[in-house]
Structure 1
Amino acid sequence: MRQANAATTAPSRPRVPALDRDALELIAQRILRGAMHHGSSGHARIIYPGAAGPLGADIDGLEGFARTFLLAGFAVSGARGGDPLGCLDWYAEGLLAGTDARSAERWPRLDEHPQAKVEAASLAFALDMTRPWLWDRLDARQQQQVVDYLAPAVGDDTYPQINWVWFRLVVQTFLASVGGPSSESEMRADLATHDSFVKANGWLSDGEERAFDHYGGWALHTFPALWARMEGARDLAAERAGVDVQRLDRYLDDELVLVGADGSPLIQGRSLSYRFAAAAPFWAGILSGVPSHAPGLLRRAATGIVGHFAERDVPGEDGVLPVGWHDAWPPLAQAYTGPGSPYWASKGLMGLMLPADHEAWIAPEQPLPIERADTVRAITAPGWLVSGTVADGIVRVINHGTDHSVEGALVGDSPLYARLGYSTTTFPLLDEESWRSPLDQTVAFVDADGVATHRAGFRSLGVAVERSGPVDVGIAGSVVTAHWLDADARQQHHGSGYTGQATVAGVITVVSIVRGPWEARLVRVDSIADDRIRALRVSGWPISAATHGSTDERDGAVAVQAAGLRSSIACDGAEAGVARVEDASPLGPHSSVPFALLPVGAGEWHLLTVELSSSGSEPAASRAAVNFAKGSGQPGSLVWPDGVVTDTSLSTYLPGLDTRPPGETSAQGRATYPPMEEK
């Protein structure tokens, strides 16, 4: 039996050091200096280098101002009015120029452009937290000018019923505190809408869809924590303080396991160019005084995420955060992304609200979950199995519940949401072809041209963790109505998958059993509905780097090594290979995806071993072995690549699973098509 060394080698991705308050302050000052450098003459607009965003230059300038003004608010309030850069006076001048309807630098009003509603919330937060040093120093006419600018938030029922409800609520809360117009009924309605997003264990979806991503943390959990501290929120916040803190506390229990030892947050979901905004919920936990997580642990998570980017010179000395990840990578933008958008990263520096003598800076640092022990966790709401390994510091998520859609919808897969796997070290491929024909981390039918089906709208079978012998294993599954998509010519590019005309190809059941760096992926074709199918393609983790790296193929197995990572897939009797893709990831220009091609026989189970680990000396892909329990279609025991044996009863944890025995035909019978033609 081969011994896989991924779980036993020395770490290849070193622990990122946590940053102290002084280091965060230096990063904030770098960003604020850059903001003032790129400000307009009246300071109302901050225009960063690069092409104008799709929402126009007026919005770009407002975003640049509002999102960095929020950072100034954190820094000045935490320093109890200390302002070594003198930035608060600078922003006050810009505030008055932007809200002056006669100014050449006037901002779009809230009733003129929807994005102004978003930015108004950052203005309101910053004004509230710097009240003694900015707002109280404005004269009555100036204050009224700002109130007039924010006032259209009252009575406006066009705010989308997603995280945007907080933008109206925050603005009205500030207005109420300064004697401006407000509506308590609207504020209560927005809170009720927020409560409708609540899912299991403190998680919140961003609206009605299965939209689970960083917005749950940097918006839906962070906004309540900041809002509760606003002067105008006192009465409403008191009514719900306990429940909001309880939800955040439980959410953080899961969120903490999603941070890699190198400080990288999970790379999944839209707006990833906000980068270290992913640290915000950990600061929110400290601000809210969550009872179950020590400040030293939450500080470690938050500063570790900021440190991940700081070690890679993000932001640079010029204080600029280009659209991208570690470096500029424009394709990471969504339809709403402009050069000022990435500065919502300011939320990741929210800890500066905490003064230097706060317990959070004094408490002993505690290690992250990934630094203490290997982790297997089931997160119910998004349908994720989490596997983190201490040896390489990598956190992996196997996804059987999130697609930014709803069950039964026949739409395109979003690479950001609907892939089978996400991690802290790999990026879903984001080239145009990957939106139209999914490649990485998929189980799909392919036609003669290699065009793949989509899985969005799948039915989740659940997620669970089982103790088997001396180890824990994760179990999850989903049933996919696989469909081709003839995509519409125009797409929104808001993060969700493409729309278009769908053609059903068949039904596929996928079950994942997870332990350490491995996933034992059980795949079965349940039915076939289209004779264009030429093969079933199962693919693994994408690795992106400066080069394609080394490849080893043999006996139905293939492994790729590059950038200190190893990605492999293995299946007895499969035709294994590696797909090469260019310019599809911000982690490197060359991406490699291992895959296996299988014959399409309805009713037949296939076992594939999918691995992501640090680079090792193992020459070929590792594989697991499974013994099917006679007559059940379920594995009675699973032999992992390192020799550990576990027993798993799938029906116990996935009660909706159809457990026909191997080889039993579907109602549409068996069908096998010739191999995919090379093109």
Structure 2
Amino acid sequence: MTYDPASANPLRGNPLETRGDMQRALIDLFDPLLPYFSEGNARVRLDAAAGHFDRAAADLEGFARPLWGLAPFSGGGGHFAHWERYADGIANGTDPNHPEYWGTVNGRDQRMVELAALGFALALVPEKLWDPLSGRARENLLAYLLHARQYDYADNNWKFFRIFVDIALNRLGVEYDRSLTRAYLAELDGFYIADGWYRDGNVRRIDHYIPFAMHFYGLIYSRLVDDDHAKRYRERALAFAQDFRHWFGEDGATVPFGRSLTYRFACAGFWSALAFADFEALPWGEIKGLCMRHLRWWADKPMTHRDGVLSIGYGYPNLLMSENYNSAGSPYWAFKAFLPLAVAEDHPFWTSPEKPLTSSREPIAFRHPGMVMMPCKGDVVALSAGQENRQMRFGAEKYAKFAYSSRYAFSVESDERAFSGGAFDSMLAFSDDGIHYRVRETNEEAHLAGNVLFSRWCPWPDVVAETWLIPSSPWHVRVHRITTPRELQTIEGGFAIARRDFEADTLSAGQGAAYAIGAEDFSGIRDLGSTVSREGLVQKAPPNTNLIVAKTLVPHLRATIPPGETVLRCAVLAVRDTSALSADWSRPPAAPDGDELLALAKQGVTVSAMNVPGRMP
């Protein structure tokens, strides 16, 4: 017998269809944490991996994040056997004289993030966390919260964290400076773009933080507070739901894109928050289906350690793809998906039969995130241009690839000095020395003309690349016009698919094409008449680079381009169909007309992500 890593997944075998199934899933996911609570119950330390903040803040993270699921579970009548442990932990963690004190909060402190979960739980189930506290413990807790809220919070979704503390203080009858609440509500409105879309701060970044943070917190607010902001949050959620449903495939998988993907099924948090807020932004059967299918998608993934504790990673434990702010407790933001447990069993979220995904068969263009969502035989491919993240690790891979897939995810690179060995899925990489490389990190321009994305970007200050992305489901077409003063080596990659042991996969590479056939998938890239000759190659990508599977194959086209202007054209295909060689692969799309593409580059609308307030596009 060999160990099956997926067997440790607490969701394994759970049908995840009913309210009882979701309740069981929550407890099954929480119980592996119990051995890691400290003696005074204020800290939960899961392993030795660190975030950039101190250990006390990381331990608070492990303690607090499960409250996003535990509070609605208990508020909806579920029996949680360890509330006494949490009450003790709060009393000890906020006591400056206790050895498990969480530490004093300073400006833009990680503790601010975790106190939002505490504020939410205090507002929802005060009888579990407030009523059991002694007079002295209550004084310490209030002093801790009031001290924390006086500092400035980061200019993004963090501003909701103080608001959640304020909601708790209000429900507990505590006096506080309400002008600070009003100021942050106004600043959060400044991040709103239009049509339900936000930025996560005034940056070129529109990712999963919009559904699982900005809308998630806004919808909770709309249930707990009755004011004009609550009404606006619901109106925006209604508009956003019409678009966000297209990020999900028929099997429940969402398109992995951007940072913090270790939060995993928090990606269903938007649908869960609609249930919590009792807001039917789509028919309840569709909302339920989107939420529950996404949870089910995770049930067979080896996403935990052997003890059932959620790992840092996505489809499997993987520190390589993590952010600098991920500690071992970070993944438990996934518990945001359990908000529906707060609503009764007779709520229409639970009584409505699941409805299948309502999606268009045609590509759908979204100006604000700069994406064209392309349905692809049950999966979803997102063509992308206009976003960036230069502040965080692997920002280029997480935000600036040409395409992202619900089935094939994306890969991060493992060595910036290994040009010939990179994965480069859905990227065009350049090298002037055969060792180091440059890829698209940001855009000088990004336009959307119909369903075609155009971007202008510079891998070096003296090298200009213009890229067109054209949907042609199940294919997509890429055209690049490159102007360079010197010779450059190039590698362009298709999608990464799972690689089997014993060289069991079929690999084919030749002049102008490469493809791989795995156990279930086909992935290929085909040249469509570039101005230089390109050689195909199937890259056995470095392990642990892809988010969903640890070993992958990526088809490449490789060429050296001369000084001057070069045009590269290709079509890319990846499908869950091992017979694609005689079907889709034999019917590639035609190369687009060059003059038409040049005209499109001057047309269309600027991708909203480019237009950051106070910054020139």
Q: TM range, normalised to the smaller chain?
A: 0.7 to 0.9
Aligned to 1:672: none
Classify 1:305/1:137 alpha carbon distance in 2 versus 1 (closer, same or farther; 3 Å): same
- Displacement of 1:585 in angstroms is 2.5
Q: Please, which of 482, 506, 509 is the counterpart of residue 459 of structure 2?
A: 482
Distance 2:194 2:369 in 1: 9
1:512 Cα deviation after fit? 1.2
**CA–CA distance in 1 between the matches of 2:542 and 2:158?**
36
| Residues 1:417 and 2:367 aligned together | no
| Cα distance between partner residues in 2 of 1:87 and 1:656 | 52
Structure 2 residue 474 is matched with structure 1 residue 512: no
Q: Does 1:582 align with 2:564?
A: no
User: Do residues 608 (structure 1) and 585 (structure 2) align?
Assistant: no
Q: Secondary structure at the match of 1:249?
A: helix
Paired residue secondary structure (1:355): coil
Structure 2 residue corresponding to 1:104, chosen from 84, 99, 105: 99
The answer to whether the 8 Å contact 1:44/1:106 transfers is yes
Match of 1:322 in 2: 311
Call closer, same or farther: CA 1:113–1:448 in 2, change over 3 Å.
Answer: closer
Equivalent in the alignment of 1:445: 430
For residue 541 of structure 2, give the secondary structure of its aligned residue in structure 1: strand
Deviation at 1:179, TM superposition (A): 3.4
Give SS of 1:74's match.
Answer: helix
Q: Distance in 2 between matches of 1:330 and 1:455?
A: 23
Offset from partner CA, 1:268-309 (integer Å, 9 cap, x none):
111111110111011122333445401211111111111111
Shift of residue 375, structure 1, vs aligned partner: 4.1
Q: Look up the match of 1:249.
A: 238
**Which whole-Å CA distance do the structure 2 matches of 1:97 and 1:604 have between them?**
65
Matched residue SS, 2:595: coil
Q: In structure 2, do the counterparts of structure 1 residues 200 and 610 end up closer, same or farther at CA, with 3 Å as the change threshold?
A: farther
2-structure distance, mates of 1:26, 1:317: 19
Residue of structure 2 aligned with 1:265, choices 254, 259, 266: 254
- Secondary structure of the residue aligned to 1:309 is helix
In structure 2, C-alpha distance between the alignment counterparts of 1:618 and 1:301, rounded to whole Å = 29
Which residue of 2 is the match for residue 540 of structure 1?
A: 494
TM-superposed deviation, 1:181:
4.5
SS of the aligned residue for 1:308 comes to helix
Local SS of the residue matching 1:592: strand
Equivalent position of 2:613 in the other structure:
none
Q: 2:524 aligns with which of 568, 571, 576?
A: 568
Q: Taking every aligned residue pair, what percent have the same amino acid on both sides?
A: 25
Say which of 198, 206, 215 aligns to 1:204.
198
SS of match in other structure, 1:172: helix
Q: Call closer, same or farther: CA 1:171–1:591 in 2, change over 3 Å.
A: same
Instruction: Work out whether 1:184 is the aligned partner of 2:184.
Output: no
Partner of 1:671: none
**Would the alpha carbon gap of residues 316 and 453 (structure 1) be closer, same or farther in structure 2, given more than 3 Å must change?**
closer
In structure 2, relative to structure 1, the CA distance for the partners of 1:219 and 1:125 (3 Å cut) is same
Partner residue of 2:357 out of 352, 368, 374: 368
Contact in 2 for aligned 1:578/1:592 (Cα 8 Å): yes
CA distance in 2, matches of 1:413, 1:59: 25
Following TM superposition, by how much is the alpha carbon of 1:135 offset from its aligned partner in structure 2, in angstroms?
Answer: 2.0
* Structure 2 residue 336 is matched with structure 1 residue 347: yes
SS in 1 for 2:198: coil
Tell me which of 115, 118, 138 is aligned to 2:113: 118
How far the C-alpha of 1:459 sits from its partner, in A, is 3.2
Give 1:555 shift. 3.8
Counterpart in the other structure of 2:444: 459
Please report how far the alpha carbon of residue 60 of structure 1 lies from its aligned counterpart in structure 2 after TM superposition: 2.4
Q: CA deviation at 1:227?
A: 2.4
Change in Cα spacing, 1:618 to 1:368, as seen in structure 2 (3 Å) is closer
Aligned 8 A contact 2:472 2:589 in 1: no
Matched residues in 2 for 1:252 and 1:434: separation? 38
Counterpart secondary structure, 2:415 = helix
Aligned to 2:410: 428
Q: What is the aligned partner in structure 2 of residue 3 from structure 1?
A: none
**Residue identity matched to 1:118:** V
1:340 is displaced (CA, Å) by 0.9
Give SS of 2:228's match: helix
Q: Distance in 1 between matches of 2:459 and 2:574?
A: 25
Residues 1:91 and 2:86 aligned together: yes
User: Quick one: distance in 2 between partners of 1:292 and 1:150?
Assistant: 34
- Compared with structure 1, are the counterparts of its residues 336 and 405 closer, same or farther at alpha carbon in structure 2 (3 Å cutoff)? closer
Aligned to 2:34: 36
Please give the secondary structure, in 1, of the residue aligned with 2:397: coil
Q: Which residue of structure 1 lines up, in the alignment, with residue 71 of structure 2?
A: 73
| Cα separation, 1, equivalents of 2:417 and 2:403 | 16
Structure 2 CA distance for partners of 1:543 and 1:101, relative to 1, 3 Å: same
Which of 356, 377, 380 does residue 367 from structure 2 map onto? Answer: 380
Gaps of 5+ in 1: 1-15, 466-473, 484-503, 637-648, 658-679
Which amino acid in structure 1 is aligned with residue 557 of structure 2? A
User: Which residue in the other structure is 1:625 paired with?
Assistant: 590
**Alpha-carbon spacing, 1:426–1:50, altered in 2? closer, same or farther (3 Å):** farther
Task: Say which SS state the counterpart of residue 330 (structure 1) adopts.
Answer: coil
Cα RMSD for the two superposed structures:
2.8
One-letter amino acid matched to 2:570: L
Distance 1:317 1:595, change over 3 A: closer
- Is structure 2 residue 150 aligned with structure 1 residue 161? no
Check whether the contact 1:524–1:602 (CA below 8 A) recurs between aligned residues: no
SS at match of 1:108: coil
Answer whether contact 2:417 2:437 (CA < 8 A) is retained: no
2:479 aligned with 1:522, yes or no? yes
TM-score (normalised: structure 2): 0.87
Q: 1:384 to 1:346 in 2, by over 3 A?
A: same
Shift of 1:603: 4.7
1:131-166 superposed Cα distances (whole Å, 9 cap, x missing partner): 234323434433222111111133212x11111111
**Cα 1:627–1:37 shift into 2, 3 Å:** closer
Letter in 2 for 1:155: Q
Q: Deviations over 1:174-195 (max 9, x none)?
A: 2233233422221111112211
Shift of 1:600: 4.2
State the shift of 1:205 in Å: 1.2
Aligned pair partner of 1:282 in 259, 266, 271:
271
Q: Which TM-score applies when normalising by structure 1?
A: 0.79
Q: How many aligned positions are there?
A: 579
Task: Indicate whether 1:226 and 2:214 are aligned.
Answer: no
Q: For 2:136, which of 133, 141, 149 is the aligned residue?
A: 141
Whole-angstrom distance in 1 between the partners of 2:471 and 2:601: 16
Q: Which segments of 5 or more consecutive residues in structure 2 lack a partner in the other structure?
A: 1-13, 608-617
Query: Match for residue 469 of structure 1?
Result: none
CA separation of 1:601 and 1:100: change in aligned 2, threshold 3 A? same
The answer as to whether partners of 1:520 and 1:608 remain within 8 angstroms in 2 is yes
Q: In structure 2, which of residues 288, 300, 304 is the aligned counterpart of residue 311 of structure 1?
A: 300
> Which residue matches 1:641?
none
Instruction: Give 1:515 deviation, angstroms.
Output: 2.3
Are 2:68 and 2:339, in contact at CA under 8 Å, matched by a contact in 1? Answer: no
Secondary structure of residue in 1 paired with 2:440: coil
Q: Using the TM superposition, give the Cα deviation of residue 436 of structure 1 relative to its aligned residue in structure 2, in angstroms.
A: 8.8
**Deviations along 1:77-115, whole A, 9 cap, x unmatched?**
011xx42x4222221121111112211211123238811
CA apart distance, 1:31: 2.5
